[in-house]
Amino acid sequence: MLDIEFVLKFLKENRLEGEIFYQEKEKHSLTIYGGEVEKYQVSKEQGIGIRILKNNKQGFSYTTDIKNVEEAINRALAYIDYMPIDENWSLVKEVEAKDIKKYMEDPPVEEKINTLKEVEKKIYSKDKRIKTIRNVVWEKICENNKIINTLNTFLEYNYQYQYVYTEVSASDGNSERSGFEFEAGRTWYDLNFDNLVDKVVWKATSLLGAEPTLSKRTTILLPSDVASDFLELLSDMFNADNVQKNKSLLKGLLNQKVASPVLSIIEDPADERSLVPRAFDDEGVKTYKKYLIEDGILKEYLHNLYTANKERRNSTGNGVRLNFKSLPKIAPFNMYIKPGIRTEKSIISSVKDGIYIISLMGLHLADTVSGDFSLGIEGLQIKDGEFYKPLAEMTIAGNLKDLLNSISEVGSELYFKGNVVSPLIKLEDVMVSGK
């Protein structure tokens, strides 16, 4: 283990205010291709990030080598001289807590290999139109972190999560389509491999023969996975750093209507249903449940200590580090749209004419400052409550504000497969451009 006590002693003896972020990370990865093991790898990394505050300036450095700890401290001190004065840097004071979880052990590696091989076989046997499987990949991430500072703070927490994913291609002789799907959970036994098979085959085959339909205004359904991607795009708009830098569509709109009254967005890191429940963030701030949007009204932005200090308020507990090599940024730990009443099946059956979106393309190009977007879509036409025919080569364009206000219903089924998740959402009167 890197010498945390040495760093803490050095900082205190030199009357420096500082923080140590220690991380141990382990990653397991298994890839199956063509019925054989293509890769099995276990990698481990440990490191320490050192943050020093002096004269309202901040210096930062990190190391993975126990022999270079003192050198890392000196680098952080040297960097301070070049940093601007900013009174908003701070550390948490006098907090001591542990959040150590125990997880069920994985089955033997051989069992995991056989399971992934079986997934590959089931995909091919599920539908003869499946022509290739890129691979079947399982990964597990385990982390143990400590936050220690000179203000009598000591925090320790761990977590793990696993996921399995695959990508396949299908052909009917006239057209080809691909499908991607993943499953996630805290342990191996949380992964639903049969669901993975069913969904990836359906995604690849359901769009075979797809063609554009006539341009029109229509009802749009975003199923859980697509709606989750859409919500992840929106998450940037709640980032207080973006708001303070005039880089958010939601700047200056607190306590105002910004979406349909059926929409409520919650951020709750401590929710035990989440993939990685968190009692405190990566700065040591206690997390809590908060409404970002409640019944269409904007209620809150996400803050870390720095952005909160700029507004003389408390952090929302959303200080997030990518790893020990980075300083805290802002991100949601567990953000989701509050579920509605009806199931996806029930909502689909109620649609007289609409489109069920399977793929949204170009989300990363949407502008969360102006709100303007133009997205490619693929999906299934709904006619009288049933899937009618596959659609492709179509676009939806407009402004995110209008899209948020067009939401007419939210589904009841919510699956915690990541840090940003959503049930199905239904949108009305959306302009779709086709042929």
pLDDT digits (tens, 9 = 90+) for 235-262: 999 999 999 999 999 999 999 999 999 9
Confidence (pLDDT) at 2: 63
The alpha carbon dihedral of 197, 198, 203, 209 has a sign of positive
Find, among 361, 369, 431, 355, the residue nearest to 398 by Cα.
431
Pair 161, 275: CB distance under 8 Å: yes
3-state secondary structure at position 389? strand
Return the exposure string of 12-33: e unless at least 16 CB atoms fall within 10 Å of the residue's CB, then b: eeeebbbbbbbbbbeebebbbe
Find, among 122, 133, 211, 126, the residue nearest to 174 by Cα.
211
The alpha carbon dihedral of 82, 88, 94, 96 has a sign of negative
Name the residue type at position 38: E
Confidence (pLDDT) at 140: 98
| CA gyration radius, the chain | 24
Confidence (pLDDT) at 1: 53
Confidence (pLDDT) at 164: 99
State the DSSP string of 284-314: SPBP--EEEEETTEE---B--HHHHHHTTS-
For residues 280 and 246, what is the distance between their CA atoms, to the nearest angstrom? Answer: 28
Instruction: Check residue 316 and report its DSSP letter.
Output: -
Contacts of 153 (CB under 8 A, 6+ apart): 19, 91, 92, 93, 94, 95, 96, 147, 284
Q: What parts of the chain have a pLDDT lower than 50?
A: none
- Domain at 4-204, CATH homologous superfamily: PmbA/TldD superfamily (3.30.2290.10)
CA dihedral 312, 318, 324, 326 (to 10 degrees): -60
Find, among 305, 273, 207, the residue nearest to 421 by Cα.
273
Confidence (pLDDT) at 4: 82
Strands (DSSP E) along 223-272, which ranges? Answer: 265-267
Pair 254, 298: CB distance under 8 Å: yes
- pLDDT tens per residue across span 143-194: 999 999 999 999 999 999 999 999 999 999 999 999 999 999 999 999 999 9
- What are the residue boundaries of the structural domains of the chain, listed by start? 4-204, 210-435
Find, among 3, 284, 300, the residue nearest to 157 by Cα.
284
Predicted TM-score of the model (pTM): 0.96
Confidence (pLDDT) at 67: 79
